[in-house]
Amino acid sequence: MIWKIVIGGVGGQGIITAGIILAETAVIQEGRFAVQSQTYGAAMRGGLTRTDVIISDEEIIYPKVDQAHMLACLHRKALSAYHKMIRPGGLLVTDRDEAPALKRLDCRQYEFPFSAALREQSASIRNVNLCILGAVAHLTGVVQMAHLEDAIRVRYSGNEDALAAVKLGQELVVDSGFRAVHLGEDGRTGRHATSARE
Amino acid sequence: MSNATAGSPASGTTPASGPATTGTTPASGPATTGTTGRTLCVPGNEACAEGALYAGVGFFAGYPITPSSEIAEIMSRRLPERGNRFIQMEDEISSLCAIVGASLTGSKVMTATSGPGFSLMQEALGYGIMAEIPLVIVDVMRGGPSTGMPTQGSQGDVNQVRWGTHGDHSIIALTASTNQTLFETTVRAFNLAETYRTPVVVLYDEMLGHLRERLSIPEPGELPLVERLRTGVPEGVDYHPYLIRDDGRLPMSDFGGVHRYNVTGLYHDMWGFPSTDPHTVDDLAHHIYDKIELRADELAQAQEFYMEDAEIVFISYGSPARTAHQVVHQARMNGQRLGLLELQTIWPFPARMVRDACRKARATIVVEMNMGQMYYHIRNAVENPRSVFLSNRVDGRFITPKDLRRVLRIVEGQGE
């Protein structure tokens, strides 16, 4: 089983941090294999940014994402730049207000109000990256929720807000009634492949 | 899957023979890193730094440069923690000079840079070769020439490593394609530097430097470490710093210690004093060249994938080898007989290993991120140079499986 995930947004949203946490969860908490890479260059706050994460039970040979099983987007600029990376029938998770889904795309689309929910709770919008990470983990099961929370605890020792943001992301998925997605043995996440993972 | 390593990771860390060669000792005491036995998820640059700490680096001088800066950053924190020294120098010229001096005093030393900084180091690199100083130099390659493309990968420094400094000389350069092998390669670089009293270059690209992946730090003692061979000549007895033993080795005496001796970049006699005596010059010129070139087979290290019955052989090194590995891996599922020889020692050039690998192959495709710097050496090494093709990229992008399949189709006469 191999998951290829791209997370996109703009500089300052913590996109790369989210990718690092996801990879750390798989490697350190779960003892599996992951590679994480990122757009690297003279980037700035507000500029496009992206991280590629591959998670697998086996050693990963080719470290780049060609076609992503999932694209998670926190900004419309990133969505229009990276939507072509989603493999046909793949998954798209976006922030409802910052990156409205593009209906024409051949993929399963999930919109969640990550930033609105954080604002509603008067929580820091800076944790929106962790919020989407909670949703990604719950929706795909690519890493276990408990392990993701452990990784967050290690990285943000004693920061309850960080943990709360991850749980909020998970709750948004649960509340929406979407079932978790099962990745078939052939790596497809086709429309008819829905089956509850847990 | 075949994953044969030609030579153990430690191969070549000890000379072929010699009565009193340095033994391998486990990492212990201050040489341990505090991370041994742990699994980390870190970028390649950190894997390299961890390898150096495992090997017992005691001094680092450097000047930060993208894409190698993380190595200096880590060293600036970790070395003082262990009671060792880190100095940020004013430039790369002084960085290499500083580690030359520190090495002579008895430390295992390292610096890290990228192409532009490595260019500035060439003069002192030659000094290190001539004065036979154990040094480890890391070059994380970015696009060149000149300041080029700081944030994108390349393999454009391959021949600079070999011939960047003037005069007849030889050098050892090692490379890797994953964090785990990069860690081991860095340890091996320190072992070879100490064994052969020579600068060793660890050469990899920006892609690997910034690729975060799993790294398991071995327990102390799991990888062999070569420690400095020191002279047994006591104080008050003449010590000849450049008197070559019959096994080719030169025991060192910590500079500033009990022996007074001269070190120079000029051709020198056994005392280390300048000499133009033709016999002395001829002996030294051959010594610094032969001690590495005549051991090319012993130093050659590579990983082989599906090579037993390969009809088409990829030869690659560094991160492009991962693309080639992916293509070979997939092709085997379709019954295509492809193989990969991933070089881990690039200098001295492993000519015999390359020739043997290509002997039965219909075609050889060299995969690298430059204009064919290794390609020409491979053509010279094989029996049928016309069967060697180059698949390269120089635009700073990662070589993709699609790139390789396209070249494969052309080689097979199937068009694009």
Partner B contacted by A43 (CB < 8 A): no
| Per-residue confidence band for A158, with pLDDT thresholds at 50, 70 and 90 | confident
Say if A184 falls within a structural domain: no
The reply to whether residue B211 touches residue A63, judged by beta carbons under 8 angstroms, is yes
| Per-residue confidence band for A123, with pLDDT thresholds at 50, 70 and 90 | confident
Say if A121 falls within a structural domain: yes
The reply to whether residue B39 touches residue A33, judged by beta carbons under 8 angstroms, is no
Say if A32 falls within a structural domain: yes
Say if A76 falls within a structural domain: yes
Say if A167 falls within a structural domain: yes
| Per-residue confidence band for B1, with pLDDT thresholds at 50, 70 and 90 | very low
- Taking only residues 205 to 264 of chain B, the set having a beta carbon closer than 8 angstroms to any beta carbon of chain A reads 206-207, 210-214
pLDDT of residue A183: 64
Rounded to an integer, the average pLDDT of B7-14 is 38
DSSP letters spanning B227-244: PP-B--PPTTS---TT--
| Per-residue confidence band for A193, with pLDDT thresholds at 50, 70 and 90 | very low
pLDDT of residue A45: 74
pLDDT of residue B186: 98
pLDDT of residue A105: 86
Q: What is the CB neighbour count within 10 angstroms for residue B22? A: 20
Q: What is the pLDDT of residues B76-130, one digit of tens each?
A: 999 999 999 999 999 999 999 999 999 999 999 999 999 999 999 999 999 999 9
Which residues on neighbouring strands pair with residue B273, listed in sequence order?
Answer: none
Beta-carbon contacts of residue A39 (< 8 Å; ≥ 6 apart): A48, A49, A50, A51
Whether the full predicted model's pTM is greater than 0.80, yes or no, is: yes
pLDDT of residue B415: 85
Residues of chain B with Cβ-Cβ distance to A29 below 8 Å are: none
Q: Which of A53, A58, A50, A57 is nearest to A16 (CA)?
A: A50
pLDDT score of A89 more than 90: no
Return the exposure string of A76-107: e unless at least 16 CB atoms fall within 10 Å of the residue's CB, then b: bbbbeebbebbbeebbbbbbbebbebeeebeb
Residues of chain B with Cβ-Cβ distance to A50 below 8 Å are: none
ipTM rounded to 2 decimals:
0.90
Q: What's phi and psi for A187, nearest 5 deg? A: 80, 5
pLDDT of residue A189: 52
Q: What is the pLDDT of residues B265-303, one digit of tens each?
A: 999 999 999 999 999 999 999 999 999 999 999 999 999
CA distance A3 to chain B (A): 15
pLDDT score of B56 more than 70: yes
- Taking only residues 301 to 340 of chain B, the set having a beta carbon closer than 8 angstroms to any beta carbon of chain A reads 319, 322-323, 325-326, 329
Q: What is the pLDDT of residues B199-215, one digit of tens each?
A: 999 999 999 999 999 99
Partner B contacted by A193 (CB < 8 A): no
CA atoms of B99 and B140, how far apart (whole Å):
18
The reply to whether residue B151 touches residue A42, judged by beta carbons under 8 angstroms, is yes
pLDDT score of A48 more than 70: yes
Element (H, E) at B128: helix B122-130
- The SS3 assignment for B87 reads strand
The chain-wide mean pLDDT, for chain A, equals 88
Amino acid (one-letter) located at B213: E
Q: What is the pLDDT of residues B307-316, one digit of tens each?
A: 999 999 999 9
Between helix A145-155 and helix A15-24 the angle, nearest 10°, is: 120
Between A124-128, B29-33, B366-370, the lowest mean confidence (pLDDT) is in: B29-33
Rounded to an integer, the average pLDDT of A146-156 is 94
pLDDT score of B349 more than 50: yes
CA atoms of A172 and A179, how far apart (whole Å):
12
| Per-residue confidence band for A185, with pLDDT thresholds at 50, 70 and 90 | low
| Per-residue confidence band for B218, with pLDDT thresholds at 50, 70 and 90 | very high
pLDDT of residue B34: 60
Say if A139 falls within a structural domain: yes
The reply to whether residue B213 touches residue A60, judged by beta carbons under 8 angstroms, is yes
pLDDT of residue A186: 54
Residues of chain B with Cβ-Cβ distance to A62 below 8 Å are: 322-323, 325-326, 401
> What is the percentage of chain B residues whose pLDDT exceeds 70?
91
pLDDT of residue B343: 98
pLDDT score of B29 more than 90: no
CA atoms of B70 and B54, how far apart (whole Å):
17
Query: Which domains can be identified in chain B, with CATH numbers?
Result: 23-226 (3.40.50.970), 302-411 (3.40.50.920)
The reply to whether residue A61 touches residue B39, judged by beta carbons under 8 angstroms, is no
CA atoms of A27 and A35, how far apart (whole Å):
9
Write out the residue range of the structural domain in which residue A43 sits. Answer: 2-176
Peptide bond into B9 cis (omega under 30): no
Instruction: Give chain A's domain count.
Output: 1
Partner A contacted by B364 (CB < 8 A): no
Q: What is the CATH number of the domain that holds A66?
A: 3.40.920.10
The chain-wide mean pLDDT, for chain B, equals 92
pLDDT score of B142 more than 70: yes
Beta strands in A39-100 (DSSP E): 48-56, 68-73, 86-95
